[in-house]
Chains A and B, each alone.
Chain A
């Protein structure tokens, strides 16, 4: 561990491990949801995770910022090993941004306040500075003109872009996307994917649970296929789509691309 901690301050190479998941096991009651997950994500890597519903893909990325507790195995994020200690968990979460399927914006706060809240209360920034940062990111997701509206006044696509900006305001090292486009109307999916593609080009480390195979083909460094709580196959996108090796992957791809 001390090696990893040391490298946190010095290393900036692109093969420094950002997330290390080792023999991760998780149960819901007696149901074994995650089975021996091993995954290392290096800095700047973009990973797309797909698989049938109930395969444990959301649960896995939710373990990375401790929204779900695991029972066995270890998770190290940016050199910080995950424990049950609240301070440690908060430290990890500060480095990990998350975007949810249903946006989860705070409906009683304006877009700007949504983006400032954690900067003010976690990073202890002066309000003016927090607002400046927030406006920068809102500008980048092209929604700065809506900053004073409430989430309920925006379309789904706009809300999801705000959610991305809100997570970015904490300047995280890693972004987790949990099916960010599944709750959107078809015409809004593109605006969100465009933001995500731009983010990928800037070198953000990303883990995306998504069924947008076009997105996987364009930006992913690796595609991971999960089923029954385990990683079945991981491969670069061209191999994954053109030459899937496992039967389950083939079946899944034929179902999802077939129609």
Chain B
């Protein structure tokens, strides 16, 4: 019987299943005993309880009377905020540095290389602590704030910047923007069709840009510029008016963007290099202009290599944003798996919920990425 591979496989799996079941059962048994000994009730009832602590940055309404469940949402939103900011900045810096590494200018290429080699070889946590303690916490007190154009002020409590206050009639501007976007898309379709029928290409990018910027601007001015900027003003020991951005957010944002950008730069560089020289030569021999070669030949092929790797960097950035807890930025881990856990002691539920958030994000993105890969896979024999 042992010689039959099918039966052998079945036995192996059955044994493995038993061992795992017994092991997990043992852990559950221990856990239940321990929880009982500590007087902790399992379950998610604690989420209804009053939190009783304040959080320095809340994107939606929150007071210390809110529930523990609310702290979960607050933390999650703060995680998403810093992740979104970080992804935008890291992408921009990463692309610039990656392209700079391929520059024919020796000095610029070297500088980009130094950037990449420096920042990707220093632990992110060291970088976060550096920006927070060595740079932002070393800034002067609000009274001696460093100012930029008398509108942005940097001090030990973070950055204060003008706060836009919409007045009556401002609503027209976002509508104008929406209309402009729709018009641009329609115009793009029209241009494409016109080129297909007459062969004449229109400068779609320039005209589109003009519409998207121009139309909202005209509407904004026509409605009498209904936006008031409340400038920060010194009042006593602190600023009044304006938006205050926490130094924790700034430090985390800086560190996450600079660190991730070093990896993105390498991805961009290798993506561009992965398009063989033969492709550009073929395009040139067909007398395609450089701009078209870049747009139609190089970028589409490079993006196939870049996008999947970049997505995994984005996921890393989201997961790395959990280092917020080291400097006290109120993200999901710091608020929920930190303060809330300490107050309630509901370790298992809270850790499970926190991990589930990251897992759901990761698995969703991986799933979408697999769809993308399947769609763009180069057809081969």
Min CB distance A171 to B, Å, is 12
Question: Are A96 and B201 neighbours in the complex by a CB distance under 8 Å?
Answer: no
**Which of A93, A98, A124, A152 is close to B199, meaning CB atoms less than 8 Å apart?**
A124
Question: Are B284 and A67 neighbours in the complex by a CB distance under 8 Å?
Answer: yes
Min CB distance B335 to A, Å, is 45
Q: Which residue on chain B has the smallest CB distance to residue A92? A: B287
Question: Are B278 and A108 neighbours in the complex by a CB distance under 8 Å?
Answer: no
- The stretch from B102-110, B356-364, B373-381 touching chain A is B373-381
> Known contacts A102-B278, A121-B201; is A93 also within 8 Å of B381 by CB?
no
Min CB distance A75 to B, Å, is 15
- Residues of chain A contacted by B289 (CB below 8 angstroms): 90, 121-122
Question: Are B284 and A93 neighbours in the complex by a CB distance under 8 Å?
Answer: yes
Question: Are B379 and A149 neighbours in the complex by a CB distance under 8 Å?
Answer: yes
Q: Is B196 an interface residue (CB 8 A)?
A: yes
**Which of B281, B288, B292, B381 is close to A67, meaning CB atoms less than 8 Å apart?**
B281
CA of A169 to CA of B240 in the docked complex: distance in angstroms?
69
Q: Is A215 an interface residue (CB 8 A)?
A: no
Q: Which residue on chain B has the smallest CB distance to residue A152? A: B380
Contact with B along A200-244 (1 / 0, CB 8 A): 000000000000000000000000000000000000000000000
Question: Are A118 and B286 neighbours in the complex by a CB distance under 8 Å?
Answer: yes
CA of A48 to CA of B343 in the docked complex: distance in angstroms?
86
Question: Are A124 and B279 neighbours in the complex by a CB distance under 8 Å?
Answer: no
Q: Which residue on chain A has the smallest CB distance to residue B198? A: A126
> Known contacts A107-B378, A150-B378; is A122 also within 8 Å of B196 by CB?
no
- Residues of chain B contacted by A106 (CB below 8 angstroms): 279, 282-283, 297, 301
Question: Are B284 and A124 neighbours in the complex by a CB distance under 8 Å?
Answer: no
Q: Is A157 an interface residue (CB 8 A)?
A: no
CA of A100 to CA of B281 in the docked complex: distance in angstroms?
9
Question: Are A107 and B301 neighbours in the complex by a CB distance under 8 Å?
Answer: yes
Contact with B along A126-166 (1 / 0, CB 8 A): 11111000000000000000000110111100000000001
- Residues of chain A contacted by B283 (CB below 8 angstroms): 106
B interface residues, how many (CB within 8 angstroms): 30
Min CB distance B301 to A, Å, is 6
Contact with A along B273-309 (1 / 0, CB 8 A): 0001011011111111110100011001100100000
Min CB distance A116 to B, Å, is 10
Interfacial residues of chain A within 65-105, with CB under 8 A of chain B in the complex:
65-67, 86, 90-91, 93-94, 96-98, 100, 102, 104-105
Question: Are A127 and B281 neighbours in the complex by a CB distance under 8 Å?
Answer: no
Question: Are A122 and B286 neighbours in the complex by a CB distance under 8 Å?
Answer: yes
> Known contacts A126-B197, A126-B199; is A90 also within 8 Å of B278 by CB?
no
> Known contacts A107-B378, A117-B296, A121-B292; is A167 also within 8 Å of B286 by CB?
yes
CA of A4 to CA of B192 in the docked complex: distance in angstroms?
40
Q: Is A41 an interface residue (CB 8 A)?
A: no
CA of A128 to CA of B199 in the docked complex: distance in angstroms?
9
Question: Are B282 and A150 neighbours in the complex by a CB distance under 8 Å?
Answer: no
> Known contacts A100-B278, A106-B279, A150-B379; is A118 also within 8 Å of B287 by CB?
yes
30 CB < 8 A contacts A-B: A65-B285, A67-B285, A90-B287, A91-B287, A93-B285, A93-B286, A94-B287, A102-B278, A104-B278, A104-B282, A105-B282, A106-B282, A106-B283, A108-B304, A117-B288, A117-B296, A118-B286, A124-B199, A124-B201, A125-B199, A127-B199, A128-B196, A150-B379, A153-B379, A153-B380, A153-B381, A155-B381, A166-B286, A167-B286, A170-B286
Extra A-B contacts (6), CB below 8 Å, given A65-B285, A127-B195:
A93-B285, A93-B287, A118-B288, A121-B289, A124-B200, A152-B380
